[in-house]
Amino acid sequence: MSRRRPTATQVRHLPTRVRTWPPLGLPAHRASSATLSSAYPFLVPPSTGVGVPIGVDALAGGAFGFDPWGLYNEGELTNPNVVLVGVVGAGKSALAKCLAYRSIAAGRRVYVPGDPKGEWSTLAREVGGIVVRLGPGLPARLNPLDAPATADAHGDRLRRVGAITATALGRDLRPAERSALDAALALVERDDQIPTLPLLVEALTAPDEDEARRDGLTRDQRTLDGTDLAHGLRRLVRGDLAGLFDGPTTDPLDPDAPLVVLDLSALGAEDDALAIAMTCASGWLEAALRPGNAGTTAKRWVIYDEAWRLMRQPAVIRRLQAQWKLARALGVANLLVLHRLSDLDAVGPEGSEARALAAGLLADCSTRIVYRQESDQLSATAAALGLTRPERDLLPALPRGTGLWKLPRRSHVVHHLVHPLETFVDTDHAMREEAP
């Protein structure tokens, strides 16, 4: 055991002559890097050799690799999920894409269930992946009423269409509305074919008399209960979102493709539309994630780039949470990309259920990668992610491509190295003047 260093106050009260402590003959403080890392967290050996190469450990030197499943098996992580935060242009998407690209080379599969900027297509082309582009006038459709072949297909559909309706209406559903939706869905499920939204809207406006009576209601009362729902869903049948979700799915998600991207860039800037699309896509994604369906045991990344745009809706947060629970059972690693942690506050007032769910998603990310943060975000980031003072002080100075990787028992400052052939990371070309 080594002796303690004198505190600053003790030093100040020493006579000038003996103020520097080495002449006192105090032994140098020695400890293993594991012990020292509690005081100065970057002093840990780099985790070389684990996972796909990311770049260099900026402080310790040497290569840095990452593989959430490998680290989980070694007991370094309590779950494989990752949150990545950083200001615009810090290099978040570049890191996510390289992680995807290099993981695919190592036999993993990657799903991007919502790409609002349409910037993942280049990578998909590179690896022979699939891009499904959703947008007005485009041929692709996703049917939110598809259900994976589970025992609870009805419940599954009900939860998804409930979330879509809540997002479309901008509020939670009332109990009577839930019953109306339940009954309408049961009605359209009676047919043998897979139900679609136009049929559901029809069933909401013309409910079944017997079914209503069973719930102690008249047909008119049930119709009234379903009125707002039908209005909300009509937006997806005849309104600005028509032609996207109102028919059978055109492109079933191929579980064997190395990379599948749902390109939502044609939906424009509206967050509602994005959130609805994401919720619709969750069924598509879940169907592919089911074991047995995939015919493969490959580990899979699900990457939510620009996740902050999706996470403003309580209904979406709830879907994400359900999906993460499923992911845990299936060995999927989720990567959530945000600008700043205060993005998550937009989902509801303090103390609300949605806020708690968002905090839960964050807590469920064992690996936290923090790129540059604006100075007004430092305290919030440090508090939410459990950063130490030296870690926090580092954040405003981080250059592009360099981030703090905080794992439960170690942290690293890593500079992500991009190979010249990894041109798919470039999102800046529009800003540059090309050489003639």
Ligand X SMILES: Nc1ncnc2c1ncn2[C@@H]1O[C@H](COP(=O)(O)OP(=O)(O)O)[C@@H](O)[C@H]1O
What is the closest distance, in whole angstroms, from the C-beta atom of residue 92 to Mg ion in the complex? 5
User: Is the Cβ of residue 47 or residue 93 nearer to Mg ion in the bound state?
Assistant: 93
Q: Considering only residues 64, 67, 70, 92, which one is a binding residue for ligand X as defined by CB under 6 A?
A: 92
3-state secondary structure of 227: helix
421 interacts with, out of ligand X, Mg ion, none, CB within 5 to 8 A per kind:
none
* Between 93 and 334, CB nearer to Mg ion: 93
| Closest CB 120 distance from ligand X, rounded Å | 11
Which does residue 401 bind out of ligand X, Mg ion, none, counting CB within 5 to 8 angstroms by kind? ligand X
d(C-alpha 34, C-alpha 237), whole Å: 59
Residue 149: CB atoms within 10 A of its CB come to 9
Nearer to ligand X, 66 or 245 (CB): 66
The owner of tokens 């700043």 is 340
**Residue nearer to ligand X on the CB measure, 79 or 93:** 93
Q: Choose among Mg ion, ligand X, none what residue 334 binds, the Cβ cut-off being 5 to 8 Å by kind.
A: none
Question: Which of ligand X, Mg ion, none does residue 288 bind (CB under 5 to 8 Å by kind)?
Answer: none
43, 33 contact by CB (below 8 A)? yes
Phi, psi values for residue 112, rounded to 5°: -120, 95
Residue nearer to ligand X on the CB measure, 97 or 108: 97
- 261 beta partners: 112, 131
DSSP, collapsed to helix, strand or coil, labels residue 373 as coil
At closest approach, how far in Å is the CB of 427 from ligand X?
4
CB of 262 to Mg ion, least distance (A): 16
**Closer of 42 and 371 to ligand X (Cβ):** 371
137 dihedral zone (left: phi>0; alpha: psi -120 to 50; beta): left
Tell me the CA distances in angstroms from 300 to 247, 275, 327, 330, one per residue in order. 28, 23, 9, 9
Q: How far is the CB of 434 from ligand X (least distance, A)?
A: 14
Q: How far is the CB of 116 from ligand X (least distance, A)?
A: 12
* Tokens encoding 155: 């419940």
Structure tokens belonging to residue 286: 């879940």
Please identify, using beta-carbon distances, which residue of 214 and 419 lies nearer to ligand X.
419
Phi first, then psi, for residue 301 (nearest 5°) are -95, 135
* Site mask for ligand X (CB under 6 A), range 401-430, x = bound: x--------------x-x------xxxx--
SS3 111: strand
| Interface stretch with ligand X, choices 92-100, 141-149, 173-181, 273-281 (CB under 6 A) | 92-100
Q: Does 116 sit near ligand X (CB under 6 A)? A: no
Of the candidate residues 205, 247, 400, 408, the single one contacting ligand X (CB under 6 A): 400
Number of residues that bind ligand X (CB under 6 A): 16
Q: Cα separation of 210 and 134, whole Å?
A: 39
Spatial neighbors of 326 by CB under 8 A, at least 6 apart, are: 286, 289, 332
* Residue 192 interaction partner, one of ligand X, Mg ion, none, beta carbon < 5-8 Å per kind: none
71-90 mask for ligand X (x: CB under 6 A)? Answer: ---------------x-xxx
Nearer to ligand X, 165 or 377 (CB): 377
Nearer to Mg ion, 183 or 404 (CB): 404
Token pair belonging to 238: 């005849």
CB of 289 to Mg ion, least distance (A): 24
Binding mask 34-73 for ligand X (x = CB under 6 A): ----------------------------------------
Min separation Cβ 92 and ligand X, Å: 3
93 vs 366 by CB, closer to Mg ion: 93
Task: Name which position in 83, 94, 187, 287 contacts ligand X (CB under 6 A).
Answer: 94
Residues forming the site for Mg ion (CB under 5 A): 93
d(CA 186, CA 160): 14
46-72 b/e (C-beta count within 10 Å ≥ 16 → b): bbeebbbbbbbbbbbeeebbbbbebbb
**Sheet of strand 402-407, all strands in order from the earlier edge strand to the far edge:** 63-66, 52-57, 410-416, 402-407, 367-370, 82-85, 332-338, 300-304, 109-115, 259-263, 130-133
Q: Does 121 bind ligand X (CB under 6 A)?
A: no
Q: Are 378 and 342 in contact (CB under 8 A)?
A: no
Residues near ligand X (CB under 6 A) are: 86, 88-94, 400-401, 416, 418, 425-428
